[in-house]
Amino acid sequence: MNTIWKFIPVSFYDTARLEQWLERMAAEGMMFLHPFQFGLLGYQTFHWGKFSREEPKPQRRYRLCPAPEMYSYPTPEQMELYEASGWNFVTTFTTQCFTYFLFSSDDPEAQEPYTDPDSLRLALRSPLRDAWLWIVLALLNVLSGVWRRSQLASNPLVYDLSLTDLILIPLWVAVTLDLLVSWYVTWRFRRQLKNGEFKKPKLPRVLALPQYLLSLFPFLAAGLLVFTLAFTTLRSESGIPLPEWDPDFPLVTLDLMEGDGSWTPHEDFTVTMNRPIHIRYNAVDIDYSLPFSRTLVCYHVNQGGSGTSGESSLDLYYYLARSGHGAEDQLDALQEYATSGKDLTALPAGLPFQRADIPGAEEFLYRREDTQWEVLARREDRVLSLTYDGNLDLEDWFGDIAAMLTPTGP
């Protein structure tokens, strides 16, 4: 049998238009066999169908009949009833809330497969209820995504533009709107049946194209997911030992600050909370940002150990921004976060930053209390955030910290 896959340019929920499109395909010699099911995060849509090439059948009719139960097939009694009326079972269409039986007939005199409006209304009651459950679930996912975004957005040390912003929130918004339109079409059909109108309603043209585009969004989201993984997660690295890393700037290390070879890093350890978290010292994590975010890459260097001066720790976040303006925005966000009380340093939230004129930096801010130091600095498209806890006077190293903002490569 000669078969072909075709893109379905009609929303599955717009059953009247879908039936008409399948009939046009049959008139062109393409008989529908079954749909291709695609799902993302539990949301399913159909946009491809398998067809067999046969002689054109302009007289063929298709009907989508709602099933009273999800994921079901016609019973033997139903099959006999439909066949006696001139209709043959083809396949099923199933989504989160609706299952439809697809029947075809080449007999122009065959009566409609559903002749009892009360039975049809009853078959549509369960899908409507399930649709509302899915709408509530989709709305909860939207609210959850917005809440997670607000929590992450308050921390510029780890947040720029996440998959939640780019994919998950828009996806669930699209799913919610798509389900609302689908619920409306089915509800309208039941109202017509109650009033004695058996003809299936078409989705209003003003809603048909937007609803179809919404139903396509899972495909777009899947593409965006692959795209972002290729440019971020698959490129990011973690736990690279500092001796194996070759940065394009002169990195300040605790070993260098001790200066006498006495510095010894702490041993790595694992903290188990909701999941195991590995704390690595004397190592760097490299995180690539998503497209359209203000930074290209962030280096996180975590150091801790002991030397002649005693125990010390140095935590560095180093950002390469997409532009000088993006670097300025990142510095402002870091400063606001550091004084908001959400920072994990031991410095008081209200402790202000002081400005210093340090060669090599266009902006250089610092604050301290006892052995705790925090430094923010920027030059052109580079920004750093550094915290130090130790007995050395960090002011002696301000010049070296500012020098990190100058690339050493060609």
- pLDDT given for residue 309 in this prediction: 92
Question: Which stretches of the chain drop beneath a pLDDT of 70?
Answer: 1, 13, 37-46, 68-71, 95-97, 115-116, 148-167, 196-209, 211-212, 214-235, 269-279, 290-292, 341-345, 409-410
- pLDDT given for residue 363 in this prediction: 96
Which tens digit of pLDDT belongs to each residue from 239-267? Answer: 888 888 999 999 999 999 998 989 898 88
For the domain made up of 237-403, give the CATH fold: Protein Transport Mog1p; Chain A (3.40.1000)
Provide the 3-class DSSP secondary structure of residue 271. strand
Judge if pTM exceeds 0.85. Answer: no
Burial of 357 (0-12, 13-18, 19+ CB in 10 A): exposed
Q: Residue 86's Cα: distance from chain center in Å?
A: 47
Given its phi and psi angles, is residue 223 left (phi above 0), alpha (psi -120 to 50 degrees) or beta? alpha
Q: Measured between alpha carbons, how far is 117 from 195 in angstroms, rounded to an integer?
A: 10
Whether the Cβ atoms of residue 373 and residue 389 lie closer than 8 Å to each other: yes
Where are the strands (E) in 121-177, listed by range? none
- Directed axis angle between helix 169-194 and helix 117-153, to 10°? 160
Whether the Cβ atoms of residue 240 and residue 283 lie closer than 8 Å to each other: yes
Q: Measured between alpha carbons, how far is 208 from 152 in angstroms, rounded to an integer?
A: 36
Domain with CATH 3.40.1000 in the chain: 237-403
- pLDDT given for residue 371 in this prediction: 92
- Least Cα distance to 289 among 351, 236, 349, 333 occurs for 236
